[in-house]
Amino acid sequence: MTNKTNFPDQRSTMFAPSGSSLLSEMSFLVLVAVTFLSALFLYKVLRRGHGAKTLPSGSMGLPLIGESVSFLRAQKEDRGEEWINKRVAKHGPVFKTSLMGSPTVVVIGQAGNKFVFGSDDNVLTGKQPKSFTAIAGKHQIFALTGARYKLIKGAMVSFLRPESLQNYISHMDDLVKTELLKETKEKETIMAVTFMKKLTFNIACSILFGIHDEPIKEALFTDFTLAFKAIWSIPVNFPGTLFRQGLQARSRIIKKMLPIVKKRKEELSKGTLSPRSDVISCMLALKAENQELITEEEIMDNFILLMIASHDTSATLLSLMVWKLARAPELYQKVLEEQMGILKDREEPQRQLTWNDIQKMKFTWRVAQELMRIIPPVFGNFRRAVKDTSFGGYDIPKGWQVFWVSNATHMNKDIFNDPTEFNPSRFENPSKPIPPLTYIPFGAGHHMCIGNEFARVETLIIIHHMVTKFDWSQVNPDEMITRQPMPYPSMGLPIMLNARNPSEKA
């Protein structure tokens, strides 16, 4: 009988890895494969438009992600200018990087602004990064060109130009007084950022879109808050990511709005609703040259874009105004004197504000202009090369993004004397005229923000009621600014209110 001992086969133990080492080897192979594919993808992107021979210097960062993480982190910590300046010092005023999933050329200074804002749409288009387009929609005006762009932009502008705004003043004035009284009733402290976001959102809903149902507005506000945070996120559609949350918020917005759009379409066909009632009705009535109507998808995309553009930039500026006036008593006093002067000049003290009253708020608006110079609501924005082009001696391949930066000229000492000094008088008959394309909080040229006048009127009406009814102080005097992606006081700006007339808070 043979004594058989069960030893393991040495050949199998020599060549077959254990469970843990097998996992490690597989992980290594996956890593190698991903790295190779990412490198191949990046190489092809860089080679796209291979006629480009002289790319600017710079770093493309990690495969696929690029430098998006460090850029977004710098934005959140309000170090965006530092992030840009570090690369300008190393590579010059034109450099390459990769942001939001696309290769990007960053251009700095007046010449760069002229290139971006002066280029025709057949050179640079307003197409935005993948995250923005996925959430705002592929049919919003930034993504359109030609006749379709002019048609939809024309409909929006018709509601935002000064002649139309004059008709909204009394309605906006009533809304602000009502919402301010509601927010401050029996309260000594309010969260100014949240209040300004809700107030400007309600104004946009009511005046621009004719949405008055309170539960609908509340639900839309929650979803738009998420969507806006996600438009400058890394476009990774995994559970839990900000991008995924933004996509889900977009879906909910569309689900809530489609019944409203369908109802208005029916009312328009019956003649019970005028196309001039609101922006949605106006777009529903639009017809292209071939008599083709605007689709519901186009209406949804442009509703989302205009809602984002019309309320968040204004909320940013208003939050910064409240923040600045709390920190600068001398500025607050001058703004108060101007606004009280408007009240005293009225023949009927209780009447609503008028267009003429708004035009008298010159110093208040200069404070806003100076704030937007030092802390621009929009740090910068993207364009996209439609074809191979060039700037500053460098080639920009077709499909690459071009990113412009407002601070580059706003804080340039050769353009603005003592640029770090807060000085609203620089916008009042300046001895040194501001050169064109250097002050760009709303963009410039035919790419100027279509809602800039709406934002001015809205801001001035709200500040008028804030300073004539209250003075205030910061709960956290050292509260700093962070970008989300707009610049906001980092703690939500809690302020303590003191009513000038105690009955205002009754």
**Residue stretches of the annotated binding site for heme:** 449
- Rounded Cα distance between 162 and 396, Å, is 38
For residue 376, cis peptide bond before it (omega within 30 degrees of 0)? no
Please choose, from the candidates 306, 365, 264, 291, the residue with its C-alpha nearest in 3D space to the C-alpha of residue 157. 306
8-state DSSP, 361:
-
**How many alpha carbons lie under 13 Å from residue 361 in its C-beta half-sphere?**
27
Give the whole-angstrom CA distance, residue 482 versus residue 379: 12
Helix (H) or strand (E) holding 13: helix 10-15
Q: Which residue in 235, 204, 207, 443 sits closest to 304, CA to CA?
A: 204
Q: Strand pairing partners for 191?
A: 494
How far is C-alpha 468 from the chain's CA centre?
30
State the amino acid at position 502 in one-letter form. Answer: P
Edge-to-edge strand ranges of the sheet holding 470-474? 189-191, 494-499, 470-474
3 state SS of 101: coil
Residues of the binding site: 449
Q: Sign of dihedral through CA atoms 484, 488, 204, 155?
A: negative
